[in-house]
Every structure is written in structure tokens, then in C-alpha cells.
Amino acid sequence: MKALLIFAFTVALSFAQESELYVLGVHPHGIVIFDGTRHEIAGQIQTRGRAPKELVPSPDGKFVYTTTDGRAKLEVVNLETRSIDRVLEITPPGYRLTIYGLVLNGKGDRLYVHVKPVRELIDRYVVDPPQIWSVDVATGKTQKVAEVPQGVAALALTKDERKLIAWGRDLYYIDVAQNRITDTFPLMNQPSPTAGALNTLALFIQFERSGIFSIPYYTRDPITAKDLMGLVNLDVANGKVDVVELGSPIPLYSAVVSPDRKHAYAVMNQLLAIDLEKKRITQITDLERTRYVANISRDGKRLFVSGAAPFIHVYDTATLQLIKTIELPGDPSVTSFRALPAR
């Protein structure tokens, strides 16, 4: 018993001393804690539902909120006890919810979720408009914030917490006090006929190192009819958007911006290093497998590439050389690979 206590204490201590931890969901029902300093798996937590998707850490780094079971379940993961604290029951009776978009406020007591509610009547489905709810983390009580157009994939919250940003076919800015969309940044619905629609898919969420939520876009330029790609960079703190055009398309799923905001790294079958100031691709290397997401170390020197295929590959950001391969117990579920806040 004593030995066990000492062991538990040691584990807890070593856990507390870790300063650079990451979480990602894996099949069939787990969350892997990755040590970004030692480049090894620091722990695993079994979730109640299958295939954890989005992950949002609490500001104190003690909890992670995640969606499981086909984005229908909202679980509270306790990183200290390495277990599920509870499931936030937010689905009203007679409904089915699918959750795309999850963000926590600065205090960590209020979650915003983008839900797609479906009323399951006895002989038919009735789809309610997609909407954003705020969830009281302590009680699980929900309140509708605003309805949004179909197609929202991710949520962000400005630093002053007055605006939610919903990333869908366009970027929608929702005033939390006014309960409505007050502004839209056009992506697919360009107002000018000489601007090509920016096709983005914001399912890959890891912006905490830089505060820049960066998603690759593809477009066909209406003047030249040429296909182009680039990055839509959203500064989460103030909601400002920077569209960085990069040239001919290379298939990419996602991008991550370095902590100094000078570089971005994008992945699919290749890893691209992008100089954001010069707006150019500086290096390209073939990846070991197709990958969905990458996160970046706090010092910006290491890239942790994962999602799709049961590995984390550690790359050197300066050389794009593979440093280490870490096997995962299961396939990473799309979409989050999040850095935990420093403790």
C-alpha cells in the first residue's frame, strides 16, 4: 500500500513538473498525453465514449473537455486523476446533437459549443438551425447564444470574450451580449466577382502556441482561372484575418503557426515550411504517412506531426528532418492535437 502511494506520488510529481504536454484523442476510446520535451507518451486516459474529437484544455491545465461517440457526448477529462470526471449532459430529451466547435472562456467556467440539433420524432427527423450554446461547466446548464448558418466547423473566442468567431463557409463574428452575428468575414461568399471563393475546412484545431488559427485555403482565381492556395490566418485574440497567398496548390489538411508568428508549417502528404513575412514556401519534405495535424513546441524548434496513422513524428523546424517516431496505441481521431497550458 505504501509502495503504491509512493508510486502515485512520484507519478503525480513528475506529471506536475512537466511543462510541455500535449493531448490528442485516439481510437477506440482514449486520450494520449504526449510529453513534448522527452518525446514520449506520458499517459493515457480512457474516455467513456469512442474516438475523442475536439479537445479543449482548461486554463489551469487540469481538465480537458472533449467530444466523443460521434461528436454526441461532451466529457470532462481529469488530467490529474487520469479519468473521466463526468459527462456534461447537454442533449435535450428527444434530441440528438452533433458538436462541431468547442471553446472555453478565460476563467474556465463557461464552454461555448456549436451544436447541430436534430429532433427525433417517432417517424421523422426535424433539423433545427445550427446554433451556439453556452454551457455552465459546473452545472451543465445550457443557454442559446445565437443561430449560425450550416457549415460551422470550429469556434474561437476573442480575448475580451465579447465575440465568438465561428469558422464555417465564412467567418461569423457573434456578439455574445447581443446574441447575434454582427460581422462576417467572407471566405466562400466573396462580394467581388474578381475574388475567388476561399475554400477552407476548419476541422484541425491547434492555435494555442501562436494565437493564430491557421487553415489552408484553395481558390480558383476568377481573372486568370488559375488554382491557388494559401493560408487564412485568424488572430484569435482580436478576430483579425490575414489571407496569405502562397501559389500553386499542394494538397494540405492543416497548418500551425510558430510562437513568434513568423513561420507556419502545413501538412498532408508533405510537410511545408512557410515564411509568413515573405509569404513563401521555404522548404518541402515528404512525410512518413499522410498526416492531418501538427503542433509546435513552445520554443518553436520542434514540430509534432500526427493525426491519421498511429504515430507522432517529431521534426526539427529548421531542417525539417525527422527526429523521432513515437507509436500511438490507436489511430488519432480527427481533429485536435492541443498543447496543455503551462502549470
Partner 1 sequence: MNHVKPVNRKARMVERAAKHGAGDVKALQSLPLGCSLIFDPGWETDAAGGVSGLCQPVEADLYGCYDDCWWPAQVPDQLTNYLSWSDSCAAAERDWRKLDLIYPDR
Partner 2 sequence: MDAVRFSLAALGVILLANGLAAEGLPVKSELVRARCGACHQVDSEQRMSRISYVRKTPEGWEETIQRMMRLHGLDLTPADGRKIEQYLSDSHGLTASELEKVAYSLASEDVEEQVPNGAVKSACTTCHSYAKIAGQRRTRQEWLNLKDFLLAMFPSLVYQHRFEDWPALCDKALPWLADEFPLETPEWKRESGQRPPQEGRWLVRGHQLGKGDYVGAITYRTAADGGFETEAVRQFADGSSVSMNGRGQWLGASAWRGSGHGSEIDRAREVFQLSADGKTQNGRWFPFQHPEQGAKEVRYRVDGSPRIAGIMPGALRRGASAVLRIYGSNFNPSLEPRDLNLGDGTTIDKVSERASDHVNIQVHVAADAKIGKCDITVGVAHMDSALTIYDKVDYIRALPEKALARLGGVRAVPRLIQFEAHAFSNGPDGIPGNADDLDLGLVKASWTLEESFTTPNDEDKKYVGSIGQDGLFTPAQEGPNPQRQRSTNNAGDVWVNASYTPEGSTAPLKTRAYLLVSVPAYRELISQ
Contacts with partner 1 by CB under 8 A lie at: 26-28, 50-51, 53, 69-71, 98, 199, 203, 218, 249, 251, 268-269, 289-292, 307-310, 328-331, 333-334
* Least CB distance to partner 2 at residue 71 (A): 8
**Which option in partner 1, partner 2, none does residue 151 bind, with CB closer than 5 to 8 A by kind?**
partner 2
329 binds, among partner 2, partner 1, none (CB under 5 to 8 A by kind): partner 1
Cβ-contact 241, 234 below 8 angstroms: yes
Indicate the residue among 45 and 174 with the shorter CB distance to partner 1.
45
| CA 84 from centroid of its chain's CA atoms | 20
334 touches which of partner 2, partner 1, none (CB within 5 to 8 A by kind)? partner 1
Residue 45 binding partner 2, by CB under 8 A? no
Picked from partner 2, partner 1, none, the partner binding residue 82 (CB below 5 to 8 A depending on kind) is: none
* C-alpha to C-alpha distance for 308 and 176, rounded to whole angstroms: 35
What letters, b where the CB count within 10 A reaches 16 and e where it falls short, cover 325-336? ebebeebbbbbb
Decide if 71 contacts 99 (C-beta within 8 A).
yes
Q: Rule CB under 8 A: which of 188-227 touch partner 2?
A: 188, 197, 199-201, 203
**Applying CB under 8 A, does 287 fall inside the site for partner 2?**
yes
Report the candidate in 340, 341, 289, 292 with the shortest Cα–Cα distance to residue 53. Answer: 292
169 binds, among partner 2, partner 1, none (CB under 5 to 8 A by kind): partner 2
- The one of partner 2, partner 1, none whose footprint includes residue 338, by CB under 5 to 8 A per kind, is none
Other Cβ atoms less than 10 A from the Cβ of 287: the count is 19
The least distance separating partner 2 from the CB of residue 28, rounded to whole angstroms, comes to 16
Please name which of 280, 255, 282, 257 lies closest in space to residue 267, comparing C-alpha atoms: 255
Closest approach of partner 2 to the CB of residue 11, in Å: 35
What one-character-per-residue DSSP string does 72-104 give?
A: TEEEEEETTTTEEEEEE--PPTTEEEEEEEEEE
**Residue from 19, 78, 87, 151 that binds partner 2 (CB under 8 A)?**
151
Q: Contact at 8 Å (CB) between 272 and 266?
A: yes
Give the binding range for partner 2 (CB under 8 A) out of 229-237, 257-265, 288-296, 312-320: 288-296
Q: Please tell me the distance from the alpha carbon of residue 309 to that of residue 291, in angstroms, as a whole number.
A: 7
Cα gap 263→253, rounded to integer Å: 17
Q: Does 96 bind partner 2 (CB under 8 A)?
A: yes
According to the binding rule CB under 8 A, does residue 123 interact with partner 2? yes
DSSP notation for 222-277: TTT--EEEEEEEEETTT--EEEEEEES---EEEEEE-TTSSEEEEEESEEEEEETT
> Which parts of this chain interact with partner 2 (CB under 8 A)?
71, 96, 98, 100, 116, 118, 120, 122-127, 150-151, 153, 169, 188, 197, 199-201, 203, 269, 286-290
